Amino acid sequence: MTDKLILRALKGEVLPTPPIWMMRQAGRYLPEYRATRAEAGDFLKLCYNPDLAAEVTSQPIRRFGFDAAILFADILLICQALGADLWFETGEGPRLSTITTRAELDALKPVDAIHDTLAPVYQTLRILGRELPRETTLIGFAGAPWTVATYMIAGRGSKDQGAAHALKSADRATFAALIDRITEATIEYLSEQVKAGAEVVKLFDSWAGSLKGDDFTDFAMKPAARIIAELKSRHPELPIIAFPREAGQGYVGFAKATGADCVAIDNSVTPEWAAEHVQPGGCVQGNLAPGHMVTGGDALVSETRRVVNAFRKGPHIFNLGHGITPDADPENVRLMIETVRGM
């Protein structure tokens, strides 16, 4: 049996203390991250500098002793690898050239060309495989096709994913073809991450909650199932975490429908509900509200205990319900970890 706690939980083992990591655990709330990002020059240069990307991936492991390190990268690098223009506006986030017509889709690079652009990401994983503590699990990741498509269609993030929904309604064939292209690229990207040393991969569908009814099935569930099936065909022992954020009732049965080993839960559902309705299907990851990393105090301790106790009867990986925010206090992270491990 492996001594890596996250791998044990992903195989279905119920552990006395859940393993812990955090989404966006390498980020702006850490002064050492801010210093390294300044050294890199800008965000994309940091993503594509293997030595510095490995450094920021390792920083929260050194500071907090998390049970996993997640590759430092961005879900939109795959868009750039497919030929889209990508840049980041200071204080505003990502910007991309848009894909809204069949001609623009056809002008993208073929899927087998993505590795030239993404080679530095694979090198980051190789460095981490050598340098991380032996007990630390290395997690790779990608954005799920729907979420990546929303950015490619709108050219930026949006609160309602309106541009993607509009294209889906107006030209479903082109929209579906874009989803297919991203799905194929994601399979190749994640497979190369595994070859480079990722022991687990996670599929982030940050905007899954805006898909309803058949659209959720067609554009969140089916692409995830296709990606997971192909990855497990190539890498039979690979554990995969799926995160269809704000899926609500869509969380129920998601693991079975897609083949995921674990479903990550956001904090729009209670841990008690997820323990009753989702955890019977396998490992659950989550779901402390990220705001507690800002406010701390007794509420952080009590809610952390609540999450641990709710999921105690099944396999569980402790995490936040979404990424930690830049205004979080590192000492609150430490308090959370001490609370989980002290129960």
Q: Please identify every residue annotated as catalytic.
A: 24, 28, 37, 74, 151
Specify the residue for token string 């070859």: 195
CA distances to 88, 90, 93, 123 from 44, rounded to whole Å, are: 8, 12, 12, 15
E strand or H helix at 127: helix 114-131
Integer Rg of the chain from CA = 19
Residue in 168, 141, 166 with CA at minimum distance from that of residue 78: 141
CA distances to 265, 305, 312, 335, 336 from 299, rounded to whole Å, are: 20, 10, 20, 11, 11
Cα dihedral value 86, 204, 148, 123, nearest 10? 40
Amino acid letter, 51: D
Specify the residue for token string 């850490």: 30
Residue in 145, 178, 198, 181 with CA at minimum distance from that of residue 6: 198
Give the sign of the dihedral formed by CA 296, CA 299, CA 301, CA 306.
negative
Cα dihedral value 37, 43, 45, 51, nearest 10? 50
* E-only strand ranges, the chain: 68-70, 86-89, 93-96, 137-143, 200-205, 240-244, 262-264, 283-288, 316-320
Q: How far apart are CA 56 and CA 67, in angstroms?
A: 16
| Helix/strand/coil for 1 | coil
Cα dihedral value 5, 11, 13, 18, nearest 10? 40
